Amino acid sequence: MDKFEERTIASETIFKGKVVKLQVDEVSLPDGKTSKREIIKHPGAVAVIPVTKDNKILFVEQYRKPLEKTLVEIPAGKLEPGEKPEITAKRELEEETGYTTNELTFLTSFYTSPGFADEIIHLYITKDLRLLEEEVAGDEDEFVDILELSLEEAEQLVKDQRIHDVKTAYAVLYLRLLESK
């Protein structure tokens, strides 16, 4: 048991959507008092660092409604129920970049917003990209542009906060960590 565990006294589901579920839990604190926790349940997601034969990384530029702006990100998408992360990763890569792969290597995983959400992202890399002959029909509501950058260029965008999405910024620095060994 975790030392500071918060035991659930009651849990109320407020909303069940296509992406997120919202619940409010009443919890018992370590000192015996009670508090409320607003919790977003998320199915989890994958992200892929696609590296081309020329050692460039593929990024997608995508409009993000919550921010009302376009971000530079690595290909990513949420897990479907019961789906293996590798399958999701391959599909999202195909849909968003037009490339496929038979070789995905797991790098790491991380929680994005542990204060209020349970989202976990599984990060993969592939250096075995093959251009698909036919475009894959992706999510009907997803529109993206592709960007090809060297690791050095990507690092500069991280420093300039033009890569402003943490999974992408972290992926770039993680790749640098791997390459520096």
* Subset of 119-178 contacting its own copies (CB under 8 A): 119, 121, 140-141, 143-145, 155, 158-159, 161, 164-167, 169-170, 173-174, 176-177
User: What residue type is assigned to position 145 of the chain?
Assistant: D
Tokens of 169: 């910024």
- Binding flag, residue 105, its own copies (CB under 8 A): no
Please count the residues of this chain forming the interface with its own copies, following the rule CB under 8 A. Answer: 74
H or E segment to which residue 146 belongs: strand 144-149
Instruction: For residues 32 and 30, give the distance between their C-alpha atoms in angstroms, rounded to a whole number.
Output: 5
In the complex, the smallest distance separating the C-beta of residue 102 from its own copies, rounded to whole angstroms, is 26
Q: Which residue, chain included where needed, has tokens 């990024």?
A: 59
Please, what sign has the CA dihedral across residues 25, 78, 137, 97? Answer: positive
Whose tokens are 């992926």? That residue is: 171
- Binding range to its own copies, per CB under 8 A, among 60-68, 81-89, 91-99, 129-137: 60-68
Q: Does the annotation count 135 as an active-site position?
A: no
Among candidate residues 134, 135, 140, 152, the one labeled active-site is: 140
Nearer to its own copies, 15 or 81 (CB): 15
Say if strands 120-126 and 45-50 run parallel, antiparallel, or are unpaired.
parallel
Token pair in block for residue 118:
């349970």
Binding residue (CB under 8 A) for its own copies from 9, 10, 38, 87: 38
Q: How far is the CB of 53 from its own copies (least distance, A)?
A: 26
User: Considering the complex, what minimum distance in angstroms separates the CB of residue 115 from its own copies?
Assistant: 7
What are the b/e assignments for 131-162, b being 16+ CB within 10 Å?
Answer: eeeeeeebeeeeebeebebebeebbebbeeee
Taking CB under 8 A as the criterion, the residue among 25, 83, 128, 153 binding its own copies is 25
**Pick 53 or 69: Cβ nearer its own copies:** 69
Catalytic residue ranges: 140
